[in-house]
Chain A
Amino acid sequence: MERSEIIQKINAIFIETLDNDDIIITEKSNANDVEEWDSLTHIQLVVAIEKAFKIRFTSKEIQSWANVGEMISNMQEKGI
């Protein structure tokens, strides 16, 4: 899947999970850029992304990303 396509899907998941229609995600986005994105909602987002893409992240991976772009690279390593 193209990175742009992945980010589009992830953006929709952020909007749905954080219940905020104004969220625009880029590869550079991290928890500082999105108000509702904290350590707890992070887990909710991870689980929603796992479900939508039918993948599982390891416990280490969940902690490792510095921004959305790194997560997408991680997803692509899993064949997305």
Chain B
Amino acid sequence: MKDFSQLKKNLKKDFSKLKTIKIAVLGDSATQFLIQALRGTAFDEGLNLDIWEADFNQIERQIFDPNSELYSFAPEIILVFQSAHKLLGKYNKYKVEQHPLLAANELEIIKNSFSVLTQKLNAKIIYYNYTEIEDAVFGNFANKTESSFLFQLRKLNYELMLYAAKTNNFYLCDISSIQNNFGKQFLFQSAIYINTEMVLSIDALPIVAAKTIALISALEGKFKKCLIVDLDNTMWGGIIGDDGLENIQIGALGIGKAFSEFQYWIKKLKQRGIIIAVCSKNTESVAKEPFEKHPDMVLHLEDIAVFVANWENKADNIRQIQKILNIGFDSMVFLDDNPFERNIVRENIPQICVPELPEDPAEYLEYLYTLNLFETASFSKEDTERTQLYQVEAQRSRVQQNFTNEDDFLKSLNMLSLVESFNKFNTPRVSQLSQRSNQFNLRTVRYDDADIEKLANSKDHFTFSFTLNDKFGDNGLICVVILRKENASTLFIDSWFMSCRVLKRGMENFVLNSIVEFAKDKCYSSIIGEYVPTAKNEMVKEHYANLGFTERTERWHLDVPSYETKKNFIRTK
């Protein structure tokens, strides 16, 4: 988030092409800085706030004088900022027997003001609720004492909510919850208050401005409508394709609680009208299994408006989701645990909001709370029924995706691969990958460290490990091939397994090119592969067929001398 100085720099920029909104600010404390922060923040949201500021402490005169500047300015939105400190000042001046009436009296003034305003102006009111001040006169007993300041302040905040709930065009900006999140020490700086009458610290200004602009943007119709969620390690812990239904973490297993609570949050968003979509690199039937069968899943298929699980790139998949839903990319949020996927999506669809999820899933929710992504200016019964409408739409327009720019996309990744035979440095990762790969694994032979060392020293085996690096970062060692000398002219592919993270990058072509080149060098004339089916590796059933091998007696043959190098965009490191 930009700090106050950075927001001020925005004020010198060109506002002329932005949508203008006329806003009046009425405050009982110094609001000049808040206004600068509001204008600066609004600029980044594409809004030009034309702000008229009442002289400090003139709220009632401006509202009750029919000839005031407020009415001649004719704002669309009126921000009313009354501080808890001024409220405390009023309380302090009350006679003691009046203390229990503070909240009721203030609410009466607010209601009167609002009714006078709306008679003269067609404006929306945004009223800042009160940050809490515990004046420590009663201690805990303040909660049991109606005449205490804390009691009256909290009562007023609650009464304001009741009033807002039944009053059109009256909205609350919840500055009290900002103080809950950041603390009073952060929000309020006594020395500044005493010198200037400002009740917000410089560092708090951007946060209060962001909360206000979110509300104004929502009133202007700019808000998030759709949440797109990845599955493995985002919706649940683990990888469904590799770990299987029983072993993904959700509910009581492992850190499943974090994912359960995360799913409850998504469920609440769905209930309030946010469209939930899934975008996952998975085989569709595998990805749907937890939604259908796992007893601890909070979300079910009927909660998901569009379910996209395949091995294509996520930017294209999100474009497809966008086409089905027919809403703007700027109204979508994409959550994915994988920084690579996040970057791909950001790079290709800059309008979409892609939060930088924390590494630890336990922190997902707290982090997402602070972003206030799903501001809204309305809530109705139709919102709760929206998902079903989109599910129908999704079925109707299940269009074949077109990947016209696949090659350009792959080229732009600047992929590099380090090809090495097994050595003591890569042994642990090679054995780990052999244990973990279930989907892209042609024969599913498992190796431990000792096996790998043996293979590395064997005269009859040739070992290859591949890393993949691209402009977004290093994927590490992601593919392994082990060749065995079958006879003087033939190599057999004992193992070929790969991490599914790097599917659709042309890695398969690159790997085959590498091993064929090796075979040519050593004067082998044919390479033979074998697919051993398991419950998990259906994905590679056609692997050798796709790469141009021909089937003979359940084994796949490739003629080395006639092999033509396959196209790919990975360079050797």
Contact = CB atoms under 8 A, between A and B. Distances in A.
A63 interface: yes
Contact of A47 (B8, B9, B32, B202): B202
Interface residues of B, number: 19
B201 A40 contact: no
Interface in B152-196: 189-192, 194-196
A44 B191 contact: no
B33 interface: yes
Contacts of B203: 47
A74 interface: no
B126 interface: no
Contact of B198 (A43, A58, A59): A43
Contacts of A3: none
B192 A40 contact: no
Interface string B515-548: 0000000000000000000000000000000000
Contacts of B191: 56-59, 62
B8 A59 contact: no
B38 to A, nearest CB: 15
Contact of A40 (B9, B32, B194): B32
Contacts of B388: none
Contacts of B32: 40
Contact of A19 (B5, B30, B194): B5
A62 B203 CA distance: 18
Interface string A20-58: 000000000000000000011001101110000000111
B195 A17 contact: no
B556 interface: no
A44 B37 CA distance: 13
Contacts of B33: 40, 44
B194 A47 contact: no
A48 to B, nearest CB: 8
Contact of A63 (B5, B30, B195): B195
A44 B8 CA distance: 11
A17 B5 contact: yes
A16 interface: yes
A71 to B, nearest CB: 14
B188 to A, nearest CB: 13
Interface string A64-75: 000000000000
28 contacts: A17-B5, A19-B5, A19-B9, A19-B12, A39-B196, A40-B30, A40-B32, A40-B33, A40-B196, A43-B192, A43-B195, A43-B196, A43-B198, A43-B202, A44-B4, A44-B33, A47-B189, A47-B201, A47-B203, A48-B5, A57-B191, A58-B191, A59-B191, A59-B194, A62-B191, A62-B192, A62-B195, A63-B195
Interface of A: 16-17, 19, 39-40, 43-44, 46-48, 56-59, 62-63
